[in-house]
C-alpha cells in the first residue's frame, strides 16, 4: 500500500494553482476561493504552508472582498456568497491575518442572510440550505461575532431538518446525506447544541457508511468516495463515535486513491485527482492521526493549532 | 470531480485549447454583461451557452435572475411573461442534462416558479421529475424538488405516500423512497389523519412490506433502516415513568451534623455506615424512563418542615445545555442542627399533579405518585477524626481480585415509584416483537443485519416486559449475538463492544445476587477510616461505556478500574459519588471527564494508566463546555485571568476548564501522557486544594 506521498501532494497543489488557463481550471474558476482554502489547508496539514507566497494569497483573497455587501466572492468579478465568505475567512485564519478584515462588515453580511425561521440563505437570492447554516455559524464563530445572529433560532432550524434515521438533510424532509450531516453536526457543535443529536442512532448510520473496500460512502447503498473520509469521519469524531469504524482500512483506502506519479488524491482508486479530494483525503488521514500530519479540528475544518489560536490567544 | 478515470498528463491539444478559449470568452462576456447590466437577448443567450458548459457558476444564474426581473418590467402581456418563464425553465433543463445534481440549476427553477407569474404547468414538472428519477432514483435534488412541487400543487401526503410505494415496488433498494415514506407516514400517524388513526394496523402493514424487502436481499441496507424505525415506533414507551430515586421510598436516615456544620453524615437506619456529605446538603434524585422537561417546584412537591417547597430549584442532571434530562436533582440544605430535636421528620415527595413533566415526544407524566423517607437527627456531634477522614489519603485496593466493601445495604427495594404501575405495553406490541423474533431466528444465519436486529428485538422485548423487575431473560442470547457480530463484522467491532457493554452492566446490576457476585466481602477495600455507604466494584468486565445508572443512584464509592472505558457519559446521575476509580481504562482526553463536573461530592479520583494526552484528536472536544462550542458560561473571565497570569491556556484549556470546577481532594494521573511537569504546575495553580499523586 505504501505511505502518504507528502512531497508529491505538495507539488500537485502548487501546480494546480499555476495551471490557471486549462479547461479544467476554468471550469473550477468560479469557486477558486473554496479551492484555495482546500489547497492551503492541505498544505498546512502536510506542514508545508510556507510553500506558497503568503502575501500574494492574502492580497488575492482581499481582492475578492465585495465592499458593498461585505461578503467574499469565489473569484474576482463574481457575486458574493456565504460559502466563499467562509473560505476566505478560513484562509485568513490559517495565516493568522484575521486582523486585516473589516469584521463588522463581514459579520453583518452574514447576519443579514439569516431568515425569520432561523435558516440561512446562501446569498441575496434566497436559496436555503443547512450548508449555509454551517457556513454562517462557523464563520461568525471564527470572527467572535456569533452574537450578531439568533443562535437559538439557527439551532432550531437545523433541528427541524433532523430525520428519523438520526441524520440531517438540506431542508426539512430532505434525505440524510453525510455532507449535510457534517454541516449540521458541525454547526450544532459550534453552537454548543450537540444534545439535539441522537449520537447512538446517528453514529450507527454513519459507521455503516464504511464499505467492504474500507472506504466510506455518503448514503446507504452508494459507492465509497474519498470525500466522505472527511464528511463522515469528522461527524463521527464530533459525536465521539469514531471508534465504531475500522480506521486502518479507511486509511488504506485513502492511500490507494493517491496518484503516486503526479501527486493528488482522487475519489476512487485510479480516477482523476483534484484538490477537493486531495484535501478530504489528507484531512481524513489527519483525523485518524496519520503520522507527520497536523491535527485538524472536526468542526471548524482548520488545523487544531489554528483553532486554539483563535479562541485562546492573548488578544 | 467524480468518477473520471485518471489520465496521464498530456500537453494541451488544439481541441482542448479551443474549448478552453471558448469557455474563457463566455465567462468574460458574462461578467462584462453582468457588471454593465446588459440584458439584451444576445447577452442572455451567451449566458445560456455558458451554463450549458458549466451549470455550476452561481453568478451566471444570478445574472439570469436580474435579466429576468429587468425584462419582466418591460414585458406587457401574458404571452410575453410565458416566453420569459419558459426560457428560464428550458435553460434549467439543459443544465440538468449536463449535471442532474446542479444546486444552482435546481434553485433557479424553484425561484422562477415561485415568482407566481403564471399558473404552473404541473404536468410538465412531474414529467421532468419522472424522467430524472428514472435515470437516478436516488437523486436527492429530485426528491427535494418533488416535495417542493407537491407542496405547491397541494398534493396530499397520502398521494405522495403512494408514490413512495411505487418507487419501492420497482426497486426495494431505494433508501430515498424509504426515507420519504418514513417521514410522510410518521407525520400522518402523529396527526391521526383520516385512514391513519389505527396506528397498529398501519404499522403491521409496514412490517409486512419491509419484510418482503429484507427477505429479497438481506444484505441491502435500505430496508433495515426502515425496519429499525418501525421497531422504534413499536417499543418507544408512550408513558413517562419514574423508575428510580434516591432516597428511596420508606427509607430511614439519621443525620449527624458536626459543630461547624461543614460536614454531616447521613446513615441509613439500622445500618451503621453512612453517607458522608461534605457540603451539608442532602440531594433528592429522580430518574425517569426517558428524558423529560418541566420538573420544578409545582410539578414535584416536597413536603418537609425543613424547606419551603417553593424555594427548591430542580436541575436537570446533564452535561449539556439541554433542558431535558432523565435524571433530576434538588439539594436540601441540612437545617440548623441546634434547633432540631430528636423527633423523626418525614419528607414526602409528590410527583405529577401538574401536567408539566413532558418527554421529548410530548408524552406527559400522568400517573401521580407519592413517596416518602424519614430523617432523624443525632444529638451527638461527630468525632473530629472521623469528620476529617476524607482529607486523608484514600487508598484503593488494587489487588486485581474482586473485592468490595458491602455495607449491608443494597437498595433493591428501590422506591419504585412506578410500583403499582408496570408499563402497560399493549398486547400488540409484545406480539409483534415476538413474531419478529421468531421470523429472524429462521432467516439466514450469517447476515450481520439479521443478528443485530435479533439482538435489538431481544433487548426491546426484555425492556417491554417490565421496568420494575429488571428481568433480563435474553441477556445471554444478546451477548452471544454481539460476540458473533464482532467476529462476523470486525470493521464495526467498536460499535458492538459499546452495545455489549450496556448489556453487561445491565446484567450485572439487575439484582442483588449478581451484583454481589461482583463484590465479595472484604474489609481492606480502602482505608478503613471512611465507612462510606454504597460501594461497588465493576472491574475486569471489558466495559467500554456504562449504563443502567438508574440502578446505581445510591453509589458513593465506585471502582471501574481495569475496563476499557472510553466514555463516562451517564455517570453524572450518580449524584452521591465521592470516590471514583478509573485506573487502567481507555480515557483519551480530559474533556471526556466533563460529566464529572456535575458530581458535587466527588473528592477522590484515580485516573492513572489511561490514555489522556496520547491522542492528538480529541473526540469529546465538542461535548464539553468551552469557548469552542460557544458554551463557556462563566469561564470567559477565567480564561482571561489565566492569560493575564501568563499560563499557557492554548495548550492547557481542557485541564483549566475541568479542574477549576471539580472539587477534588485527591487525584492520581500517573501513567498518562499528559502527566508531565507542566501539568503538575498547572494543576497546582488551578486546583490548589487538592493532592496530585
**CB neighbourhood size of A41 (10 A):** 26
Q: Please say whether the beta carbons of B235 and B191 come within 8 A.
A: no
Alpha carbon distance A59, A53 (integer Å): 10
Alpha carbon distance B239, B252 (integer Å): 30
Average pLDDT rounded to a whole number, residues A80-108:
98
More confident residue, B157 or B366: B157
Helices vs. strands in chain B: H and E counts, helices first: 20, 19
Query: Which chain B residue is nearest to residue A259, measuring alpha carbons?
Result: B6
Alpha carbon distance B279, B57 (integer Å): 64
Residues of B in contact with A141 (CB under 8 A): 630
Q: Please say whether the beta carbons of B182 and B226 come within 8 A.
A: yes
Going by pLDDT thresholds of 50, 70 and 90, the confidence category of residue B690 is confident
Query: Which chain A residue is nearest to residue B491, measuring alpha carbons?
Result: A246
pLDDT at site B404: 36
Of the candidates A155, A183, A156, the one whose C-alpha atom is nearest the C-alpha of residue A169 is A183
Phi, psi for residue B554 in degrees, rounded to 5: -85, -5
pLDDT at site A30: 92
Average pLDDT rounded to a whole number, residues B387-401:
50
Query: Which chain A residue is nearest to residue B225, measuring alpha carbons?
Result: A165
CA distance A222 to chain B (A): 9
* pLDDT tens, residue by residue, B468-492: 455 678 889 999 999 999 999 999 9
Is B173 in CB contact (< 8 Å) with chain A? yes
pLDDT at site B545: 97
Class (C level, CATH) for A6-312: mainly alpha
pLDDT at site B533: 62
Handedness of CA B233, B239, B240, B245 (dihedral sign): negative
- Lowest-confidence segment of A67-76, B376-385, B607-616 by average pLDDT: B376-385
Q: Which of residues 247-306 of B touch A (CB under 8 A)?
A: none
pLDDT at site B270: 53
pLDDT at A230 over 70: yes
Residue identified by cell 419478529 is B436
Alpha carbon distance A131, A123 (integer Å): 12
Of the candidates B256, B261, B305, the one whose C-alpha atom is nearest the C-alpha of residue B280 is B261
- Lowest-confidence segment of B180-194, B381-395, B543-557, B565-579 by average pLDDT: B381-395
Q: A272: Cβ–Cβ under 8 A, 6 or more apart, which residues? A: A266, B1, B4, B5, B6, B7
pLDDT at B417 over 90: no
Class (C level, CATH) for B513-692: alpha beta
* pLDDT tens, residue by residue, A155-205: 999 999 999 999 999 999 999 999 999 999 999 999 999 999 999 999 999
Alpha carbon distance A33, A37 (integer Å): 6
Residues of A in contact with B57 (CB under 8 A): 30, 78
Alpha carbon distance B514, B163 (integer Å): 53
Handedness of CA A121, A123, A129, A130 (dihedral sign): negative
Going by pLDDT thresholds of 50, 70 and 90, the confidence category of residue B665 is confident
The CB-side HSE value for A42 (13 A sphere, CA atoms) comes to 31
Alpha carbon distance B206, B503 (integer Å): 29
pLDDT at site B465: 77
- Lowest-confidence segment of A114-118, B105-109, B200-204 by average pLDDT: B200-204
Average pLDDT rounded to a whole number, residues B563-570:
97
pLDDT at B635 over 50: yes
Q: Which helix (H) or strand (E) holds B286?
A: strand B281-293
- For chain A, the straight-line distance linking the first and the last C-alpha, in angstroms and rounded, comes to 46
Query: Which chain B residue is nearest to residue A187, measuring alpha carbons?
Result: B629
CA distance A100 to chain B (A): 22
- Residue A163 has its nearest CB partner, among B8, B62, B183, at B183
* pLDDT tens, residue by residue, B337-364: 556 666 788 899 999 888 899 998 888 9
pLDDT at B121 over 70: yes
CA distance A193 to chain B (A): 7
More confident residue, B637 or B531: B637
| Residues A151, B630: C-beta atoms closer than 8 Å | yes
| Residues A29, B625: C-beta atoms closer than 8 Å | no
Chain B interface, mutation test: which of A240, A250, A265, A305, most B Cβ atoms within 10 Å? Answer: A240
Residues of B in contact with A177 (CB under 8 A): 140
Of the candidates A172, A266, A170, the one whose C-alpha atom is nearest the C-alpha of residue A225 is A266
Measured in residues, chain B has a length of 693
pLDDT at site A124: 98
| Residues B492, A173: C-beta atoms closer than 8 Å | no
Alpha carbon distance B221, B449 (integer Å): 8
| Identical topology for domains B19-235 and B513-692 | no
Average pLDDT rounded to a whole number, residues B630-654:
80
Each domain of chain B, given as residue ranges in start order, spans: 19-235, 242-388, 427-465+471-508, 513-692
Cis (ω within 30 of 0) for the bond into B270? yes
- Residue B173 has its nearest CB partner, among A123, A221, A299, at A221
| Residues A189, B629: C-beta atoms closer than 8 Å | yes
- Whether ipTM tops 0.95, in short, is yes
| Residues B107, A127: C-beta atoms closer than 8 Å | yes
Average pLDDT over chain B, rounded to an integer = 85
pLDDT at site B639: 78
Spell B369-397 as b/e; 16+ CB within 10 A means b: bebbbbbbbbeeebeeebbebbeeebebb
Long-range CB contacts (within 8 A, 24+) of B398-401: B398/B561, B398/B583, B400/B540, B400/B562
Q: Please say whether the beta carbons of B458 and B500 come within 8 A.
A: no
Residues of A in contact with B492 (CB under 8 A): 207-208, 210, 244-246
What CATH superfamily is the domain B19-235? Answer: Protein prenylyltransferase (1.25.40.120)
| Residues A220, B491: C-beta atoms closer than 8 Å | no
Residues of A in contact with B4 (CB under 8 A): 271-272
In sequence order, which ranges of A19-129 are alpha helices (DSSP H)? 23-27, 32-45, 54-63, 82-94, 103-112
* pLDDT tens, residue by residue, A12-68: 999 988 887 777 888 889 999 999 999 999 999 999 999 999 999 999 999 999 999
Give percent of chain A above pLDDT 90: 94
Q: Please say whether the beta carbons of B330 and B314 come within 8 A.
A: yes
Phi, psi for residue B579 in degrees, rounded to 5: -130, 130
* pLDDT tens, residue by residue, B512-528: 777 766 654 433 344 33
pLDDT at B453 over 90: yes
Give percent of chain A above pLDDT 70: 99
Query: Which chain B residue is nearest to residue A12, measuring alpha carbons?
Result: B9
Is B318 in CB contact (< 8 Å) with chain A? yes
Highest-scoring range by mean pLDDT, A191-200, B367-376, B657-666: A191-200
Average pLDDT rounded to a whole number, residues B556-563:
93
**Residue B586, helix vs strand vs coil:** coil
More confident residue, B102 or B634: B102
Chain B interface, mutation test: which of A35, A135, A164, A270, most B Cβ atoms within 10 Å? Answer: A164
| Residues A170, B615: C-beta atoms closer than 8 Å | no
Q: At what angle do helices A178-190 and A199-207 cross, to 10 degrees?
A: 150
pLDDT at site B267: 62
DSSP 8-state class, residue A176: P
DSSP 8-state class, residue B281: E
Angle, vertex CA A22, rays to CA A21 and CA A25, nearest 5: 85
- Lowest-confidence segment of B40-44, B115-119, B596-600 by average pLDDT: B115-119
pLDDT at B174 over 90: yes
Q: Please say whether the beta carbons of B319 and B597 come within 8 A.
A: yes
- Lowest-confidence segment of A2-11, A272-281, B330-339, B392-401 by average pLDDT: B392-401
Phi, psi for residue B169 in degrees, rounded to 5: -60, -40
How would you class B341 by CB atoms within 10 Å of its CB: exposed for 0-12, middle for 13-18, buried for 19 or more? exposed
pLDDT at site B425: 58
pLDDT at B668 over 70: yes
Q: Please say whether the beta carbons of B500 and B519 come within 8 A.
A: no
**Residue B21, helix vs strand vs coil:** helix
How would you class A81 by CB atoms within 10 Å of its CB: exposed for 0-12, middle for 13-18, buried for 19 or more? buried
Phi, psi for residue B375 in degrees, rounded to 5: -120, 135
Highest-scoring range by mean pLDDT, A111-115, B187-191, B213-217, B686-690: A111-115
pLDDT at site B251: 82
Is B637 in CB contact (< 8 Å) with chain A? no
Is B426 in CB contact (< 8 Å) with chain A? no
Q: Please say whether the beta carbons of A118 and A150 come within 8 A.
A: yes
The set of cell numbers assigned to B252 is 430511614
Each domain of chain A, given as residue ranges in start order, spans: 6-312
How would you class A76 by CB atoms within 10 Å of its CB: exposed for 0-12, middle for 13-18, buried for 19 or more? exposed
pLDDT at B88 over 70: yes
Amino acid at each position: 500500500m505504501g505511505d502518504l506521498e507528502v512531497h508529491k501532494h505538495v507539488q500537485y497543489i502548487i501546480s494546480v494553482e499555476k495551471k490557471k488557463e486549462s479547461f479544467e481550471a476554468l471550469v473550477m474558476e468560479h469557486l477558486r476561493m473554496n479551492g484555495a482554502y482546500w489547497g492551503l489547508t492541505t498544505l498546512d496539514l502536510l506542514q508545508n504552508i510556507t510553500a506558497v507566497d503568503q502575501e500574494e494569497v492574502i492580497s488575492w483573497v482581499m481582492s475578492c472582498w465585495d465592499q458593498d455587501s461585505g461578503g467574499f466572492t469565489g473569484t474576482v468579478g463574481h457575486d458574493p456568497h456565504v460559502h466563499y465568505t467562509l473560505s476566505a475567512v478560513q484562509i485568513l485564519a490559517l495565516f493568522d491575518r484575521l486582523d486585516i478584515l473589516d469584521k463588522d462588515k463581514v459579520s453583518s453580511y452574514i447576519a443579514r442572510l439569516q431568515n425569520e425561521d432561523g435558516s440561512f440563505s446562501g446569498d441575496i437570492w434566497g436559496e436555503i440550505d443547512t450548508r449555509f447554516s454551517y457556513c454562517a455559524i462557523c464563520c461568525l464563530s471564527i470572527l467572535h461575532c456569533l452574537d450578531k445572529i439568533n443562535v437559538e433560532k439557527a439551532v432550531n432550524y437545523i433541528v427541524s431538518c433532523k430525520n428519523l434515521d438520526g441524520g440531517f438533510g438540506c431542508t426539512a424532509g430532505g434525505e440524510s446525506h453525510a455532507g449535510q450531516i457534517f454541516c449540521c453536526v458541525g454547526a450544532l457543535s459550534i453552537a454548543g447544541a450537540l444534545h439535539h443529536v441522537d449520537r447512538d442512532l446517528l453514529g450507527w448510520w454513519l459507521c455503516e457508511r464504511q464499505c467492504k473496500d474500507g472506504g466510506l460512502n455518503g448514503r446507504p447503498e452508494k459507492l465509497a468516495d474519498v470525500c466522505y473520509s472527511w464528511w463522515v469521519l469528522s461527524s463521527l469524531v464530533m459525536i465521539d463515535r469514531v471508534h465504531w469504524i475500522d480506521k486502518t482500512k479507511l486509511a488504506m483506502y485513502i492511500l490507494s486513491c493517491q496518484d503516486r506519479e503526479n501527486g493528488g488524491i482522487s475519489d476512487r482508486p485510479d480516477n482523476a485527482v483534484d484538490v477537493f479530494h486531495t484535501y478530504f483525503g489528507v484531512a481524513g488521514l489527519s483525523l485518524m492521526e496519520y503520522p507527520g500530519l497536523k491535527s485538524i479540528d472536526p468542526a471548524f475544518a482548520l488545523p487544531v493549532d489554528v483553532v486554539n489560536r483563535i479562541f485562546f490567544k492573548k488578544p | 470531480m467524480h468518477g473520471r478515470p485518471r489520465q496521464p498528463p498530456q500537453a494541451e491539444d488544439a481541441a482542448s485549447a479551443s474549448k478552453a478559449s471558448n469557455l474563457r470568452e463566455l465567462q468574460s462576456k458574462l461578467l462584462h454583461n453582468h457588471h454593465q447590466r446588459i440584458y439584451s437577448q444576445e447577452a442572455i443567450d451567451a449566458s445560456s451557452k455558458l451554463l450549458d458548459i458549466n451549470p455550476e457558476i452561481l453568478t451566471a444564474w444570478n445574472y439570469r435572475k436580474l435579466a429576468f426581473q429587468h425584462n419582466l418590467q418591460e414585458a406587457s402581456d401574458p404571452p410575453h411573461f410565458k416566453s420569459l418563464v419558459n426560457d428560464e425553465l428550458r435553460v434549467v433543463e439543459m443544465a440538468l442534462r449536463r449535471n442532474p445534481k446542479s444546486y444552482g440549476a435546481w434553485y433557479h427553477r424553484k425561484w422562477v416558479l415561485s415568482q407566481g407569474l403564471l399558473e404552473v404547468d404541473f404536468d410538465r414538472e412531474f414529467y421532468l421529475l419522472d424522467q430524472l428519477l428514472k435515470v437516478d432514483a436516488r437523486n436527492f435534488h429530485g426528491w427535494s424538488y418533488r416535495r417542493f412541487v407537491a407542496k405547491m400543487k397541494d398534493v396530499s401526503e397520502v398521494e405522495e405516500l403512494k408514490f413512495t410505494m411505487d418507487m419501492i415496488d420497482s426497486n426495494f433498494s431505494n433508501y430515498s423512497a424509504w426515507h420519504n415514506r418514513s417521514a410522510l407516514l410518521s407525520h400522518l400517524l402523529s396527526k391521526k389523519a383520516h385512514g391513519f388513526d389505527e396506528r397498529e394496523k398501519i404499522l403491521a402493514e409496514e412490517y409486512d412490506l419491509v419484510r418482503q424487502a429484507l427477505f429479497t436481499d438481506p444484505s441491502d441496507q435500505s430496508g433495515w433502516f426502515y425496519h429499525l424505525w418501525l421497531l422504534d415506533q413499536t417499543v418507544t414507551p408512550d408513558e413517562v415513568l419514574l423508575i428510580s430515586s434516591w432516597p428511596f421510598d420508606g427509607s430511614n436516615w439519621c443525620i449527624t451534623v458536626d459543630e461547624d456544620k461543614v460536614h454531616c453524615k447521613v446513615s441509613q437506619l439500622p445500618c451503621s455506615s453512612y453517607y458522608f456529605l461534605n457540603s451539608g446538603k442532602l440531594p433528592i434524585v429522580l430518574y425517569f424512563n426517558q428524558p423529560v422537561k418541566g420538573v420544578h417546584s409545582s410539578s414535584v412537591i416536597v413536603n418537609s418542615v425543613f424547606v419551603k417547597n417553593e424555594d427548591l430549584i430542580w436541575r436537570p442532571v446533564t452535561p449539556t445545555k439541554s433542558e431535558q434530562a432523565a435524571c433530576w436533582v434538588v439539594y436540601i440544605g441540612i437545617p440548623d442542627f441546634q434547633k432540631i430535636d430528636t423527633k423523626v421528620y418525614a419528607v414526602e415527595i409528590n410527583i405529577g399533579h401538574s401536567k408539566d413533566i413532558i418527554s421529548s415526544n410530548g408524552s406527559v407524566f400522568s400517573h401521580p405518585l407519592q413517596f416518602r423517607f424519614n430523617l432523624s437527627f443525632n444529638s451527638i456531634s461527630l468525632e473530629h477524626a472521623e469528620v476529617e477522614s476524607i482529607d486523608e489519603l484514600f487508598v484503593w485496593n488494587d489487588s486485581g481480585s474482586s473485592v468490595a466493601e458491602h455495607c449491608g445495604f443494597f437498595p433493591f427495594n428501590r422506591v419504585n415509584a412506578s410500583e403499582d404501575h408496570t408499563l402497560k405495553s399493549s398486547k400488540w406490541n409484545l406480539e409483534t416483537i415476538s413474531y419478529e423474533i421468531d421470523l429472524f431466528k429462521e432467516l439466514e444465519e450469517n447476515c450481520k443485519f439479521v443478528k443485530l436486529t435479533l439482538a435489538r428485538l431481544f433487548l426491546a422485548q426484555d425492556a417491554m416486559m417490565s421496568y420494575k423487575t429488571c428481568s433480563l431473560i435474553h441477556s445471554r442470547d444478546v451477548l452471544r449475538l454481539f460476540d458473533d457480530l464482532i467476529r462476523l463484522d470486525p470493521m464495526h467491532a467498536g460499535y458492538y463492544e459499546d452495545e455489549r457493554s450496556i448489556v453487561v452492566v445491565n446484567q450485572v446490576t439487575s439484582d442483588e445476587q449478581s451484583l454481589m457476585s461482583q463484590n465479595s466481602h472484604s474489609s481492606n477495600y480502602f482505608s478503613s477510616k471512611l465507612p462510606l455507604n454504597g460501594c461497588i466494584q465493576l472491574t475486569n468486565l471489558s466495559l467500554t461505556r456504562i449504563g443502567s445508572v438508574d440502578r446505581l443512584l445510591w453509589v458513593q464509592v465506585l471502582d471501574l478500574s481495569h475496563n476499557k472505558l472510553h466514555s463516562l457519559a451517564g455517570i453524572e446521575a450518580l449524584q452521591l459519588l465521592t470516590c471514583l476509580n478509573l485506573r487502567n481504562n481507555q480515557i483519551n482526553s480530559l474533556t471526556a471527564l466533563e460529566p464529572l463536573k456535575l458530581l458535587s461530592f466527588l473528592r477522590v479520583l484515580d485516573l492513572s494508566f489511561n490514555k489522556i494526552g496520547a491522542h492528538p484528536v480529541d473526540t469529546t472536544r465538542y461535548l464539553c463546555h468551552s469557548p469552542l462550542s460557544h458554551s463557556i458560561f462563566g469561564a470567559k473571565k477565567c480564561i482571561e485571568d489565566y492569560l493575564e497570569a501568563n499560563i499557557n491556556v492554548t495548550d492547557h484549556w481542557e485541564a483549566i476548564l475541568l479542574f477549576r470546577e471539580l472539587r477534588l481532594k485527591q487525584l492520581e494521573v500517573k501513567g498518562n501522557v499528559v502527566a508531565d511537569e507542566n501539568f503538575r504546575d498547572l494543576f497546582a495553580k488551578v486546583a490548589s486544594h487538592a493532592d496530585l499523586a
